[in-house]
């Protein structure tokens, strides 16, 4: 699914979080929103998701204006840094949850749900852990369950907000490869927010560099690395982690 963001602005009180943002996201691409804390990355992601409304501007999905469409109708899968799994549910039930709460007419049968969940568990290589509870998993395993849960409802778009931020460096590295691998397999249009330039450079097809609520640069990792529009911002980002 392609996404077009046109003239999107957002103000919180007197603070202008986004200023006239324009962005074209190609179908099937893995896009990184990169920038320092407070630069507007999460706000932009939430507006695309439908979790937040823009003050001005509009959002098109495949050319269709969905600015007014409710979040539930946008077919989005989410993975957030602190998007906790349900602690009282097994891994299996966590992943199945989105399928069980579908309206009756769209709800798969129990057999279909089992098939789908087992397939997803295989994809994130957690087959043996279906009956565990989140507290029995490592941080990296939990985020893989979160990825599987987001994918369960076959979203047209995957939105990830600092998905690996809370994890240690080795696990983060492993999950980056996971994300790239899953994306290459599924070709879902995906946007992930990060303040880690290494992560963006390694994983993304294209990088959107944000600063003070505006887009400073859009380019491939090579372009952004070789000719940063704002070397200070890019160097600064590198020194954050
Ligand atoms: P980033 O993801 O780049 O760190 P955000 O989009 O989260 O930036 O935030 C941009 C700015 O908008 C921040 O300074 C933040 O304080 C402010 N902001 C974000 N959401 C809200 C909100 N719901 N209410 C008030 N201010 C907000």
- pLDDT (tens digit per residue) in 152-196: 988 989 999 998 877 888 888 888 888 898 888 888 999 999 988
Domain co-membership, 61 together with 123: no
Q: How far is the CA of 164 from the centre of ligand 1 (A)?
A: 19
Q: 101: domain range?
A: 87-154
Grouping H, G, I as helix, E, B as strand and the rest as coil, residue 224 is helix
Domain co-membership, 69 together with 164: yes
Nearest to 147 by CA among 165, 160, 166, 130: 160
Residue 12 CB–ligand 1 contact under 6 Å: yes
Residue 240: band (very low, low, confident or very high) from pLDDT cuts 50, 70, 90: very low
Q: How far is the CA of 196 from the centre of ligand 1 (A)?
A: 18
Q: Extract the runs of DSSP E, i.e. beta strands, from 73-213.
A: 76-80, 157-161, 189-194, 206-211
Q: Is residue 104 situated within a structural domain?
A: yes
Q: Which of the listed residues 8, 14, 15 should we mutate to test ligand 1's pocket, taking the one with most ligand atoms within 8 A of CB?
A: 15
Residue pLDDT, tens place only, 214-238: 999 999 999 998 888 877 666 655 5
Give the chain's largest Cα–Cα span.
Answer: 55
Residue with tokens 């074209």: 24
Domain co-membership, 70 together with 183: yes
Q: Would you tell me how many other CB atoms lie within 10 Å of the CB of residue 52?
A: 17
Position 200 pLDDT exceeds 90: yes
**Number of compact structural domains in the chain:** 2
Q: What is the pLDDT of residue 175?
A: 85
Residue nearest to atom 14 of ligand 1 (CA): 38
Residue 109 CB–ligand 1 contact under 6 Å: no
Grouping H, G, I as helix, E, B as strand and the rest as coil, residue 177 is helix
Q: How far is the CA of 123 from the centre of ligand 1 (A)?
A: 34
Residue 90 CB–ligand 1 contact under 6 Å: no
In angstroms, rounded to a whole number, what is the distance separating the alpha carbons of residues 100 and 93? 9
Grouping H, G, I as helix, E, B as strand and the rest as coil, residue 213 is coil
* pLDDT cut 90: percent of the chain above it: 64
Burial class (CB in 10 A: 0-12, 13-18, 19+), 25: buried
Residue 21 CB–ligand 1 contact under 6 Å: no
**15: domain CATH number?**
3.40.50.300
Position 241 pLDDT exceeds 80: no
Domain co-membership, 136 together with 180: no
The sign of the torsion formed by the CA atoms of 145, 238, 12, 73 equals negative
Q: Minimum mean pLDDT among 99-108, 136-145, 184-193, 224-233: which range?
A: 224-233
Q: How far is the CA of 17 from the centre of ligand 1 (A)?
A: 6
User: What residues does 3 pair with on adjacent strands?
Assistant: 25, 61
The sign of the torsion formed by the CA atoms of 134, 156, 210, 218 equals positive
Residue pLDDT, tens place only, 32-77: 999 999 999 999 999 999 999 999 999 999 999 999 888 878 888 8
């Amino acid at each position: 699914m392609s996404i077009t963001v046109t003239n999107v602005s957002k103000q919180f009180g007197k603070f202008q979080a986004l200023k006239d943002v324009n962005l074209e996201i190609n179908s099937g691409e893995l896009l990184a929103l990169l920038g320092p804390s407070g630069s507007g990355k999460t706000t932009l992601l939430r507006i695309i998701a439908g979790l937040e409304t823009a003050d001005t501007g509009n959002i098109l999905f495949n050319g269709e204006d969905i600015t007014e469409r409710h979040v539930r109708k946008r077919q989005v899968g989410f993975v957030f840094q602190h998007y906790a799994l349900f602690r009282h549910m097994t891994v299996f039930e966590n992943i199945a949850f989105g399928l069980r709460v579908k309206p009756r007419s769209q709800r798969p049968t129990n057999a279909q749900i089992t098939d789908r969940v087992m397939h997803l568990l295989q994809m994130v290589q957690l087959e043996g852990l279906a009956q565990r509870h989140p507290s029995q998993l490592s941080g990296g395993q939990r985020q893989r369950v979160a990825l599987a849960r987001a994918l369960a409802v076959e979203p047209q778009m995957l939105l990830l907000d600092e998905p690996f931020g809370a994890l240690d460096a080795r696990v983060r590295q492993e999950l980056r490869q996971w994300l790239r691998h899953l994306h290459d397999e599924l070709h879902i249009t995906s946007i992930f927010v990060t303040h880690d330039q290494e992560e963006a450079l390694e994983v993304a097809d294209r990088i959107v560099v944000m600063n003070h609520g505006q887009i400073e640069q859009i380019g491939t990792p090579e372009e952004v690395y070789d000719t940063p529009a704002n070397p200070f911002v890019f160097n600064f980002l590198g020194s954050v982690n």
